[in-house]
Amino acid sequence: MATVPAGSYVIDGSHTDVAFTVRHAGISKVRGKFEKVEGTITVGDNLADSAASVTIDAASINTGDANRDGHLRSADFWDADTKPTWTFVSTGVEGDGEEFVLKGDLTINGVTKPVALDAEFNGSVVDAFGSPRIGFSATTEISRKEFGLTWNAAMETGGFLVGDKVKVQLEVEATPAQA
């Protein structure tokens, strides 16, 4: 069993993905990711004493379609001009070792709700440039309506254009914080 090295870390935004999947028109899934994410991770000697804090630039959305991205940034969805950041602040860790649950408060669109991330410690290395790195994967599912993201369009055949459940996937790399 791998042990997460205790210490303070900074999320490496260029090697971190915050992605999501949501059902579209009831027949397919749309994927997207946020290009700008930053944050800190503090790993305690006991994993339960660990914490994380993450900030996502809401305008950095990339679904591969500029028109859709613009609509998501608009007041119909998360109004990135007036609510430019989303945040996650951990409130607790359950489990031990490689797999654990990271609980915390997620704020999207100015609405804060508790979430639980099923997380996995992927290991630690010293990269080719001599820098220590740690890596994690995590997933959760949220209801977009609970965060005030209620825009939708009814379809002639029944149902709605955008599904309510959003699967969130994270791949996180972090490096030691500088003293």
According to DSSP, the residues that pair with 54 across neighbouring strands are 39, 88
- What pLDDT is attached to residue 155? 76
Q: Provide the percentage of residues in the chain whose pLDDT is more than 90.
A: 65
Mean pLDDT of 77-96: 93
- pLDDT of residue 9 exceeding 60, the answer is yes
The C-alpha atoms of residue 104 and residue 88 are separated, in whole angstroms, by 7
Q: Which 8-state DSSP code applies to residue 170?
A: E
CATH topology of domain 7-176: Lipocalin (2.40.128)
Note the pTM of the prediction, 2 decimals: 0.89
| β-sheet bridge partners, residue 34 | 18, 61
Average pLDDT in the chain? 90
23-79 per-position pLDDT tens digit: 887 778 999 999 999 999 999 888 889 999 999 999 999 999 999 999 999 999 889
* Residue ranges per structural domain of the chain: 7-176
Lowest mean pLDDT among 98-107, 125-134, 138-147: 125-134
- Nearest Cα residue to 149 out of 74, 85, 59: 74
Please compute the mean of the pLDDT values over residues 105-128 and round it to a whole number.
93
Region 106-114 average pLDDT:
95
Confidence of residue 178 (pLDDT cuts 50, 70, 90): confident
Enter the tokens of residue 89. Answer: 């602040």
Residue 1 pLDDT more than 50?
A: no
Higher pLDDT, 128 or 3: 128
| pLDDT the model gives residue 149 | 80
Q: How many residues does the chain have?
A: 179
Contact (CB, 8 A) for 119 and 99: yes
Collapsing DSSP to helix, strand or coil, 51 comes out as strand
* Residue 179 confidence (pLDDT) above 60: no
Q: Tell me the C-alpha to C-alpha distance, in Å, between residue 134 and each of 130, 169, 177.
A: 13, 17, 12
> 13: which DSSP letter?
G
Mean pLDDT across 111-134: 92
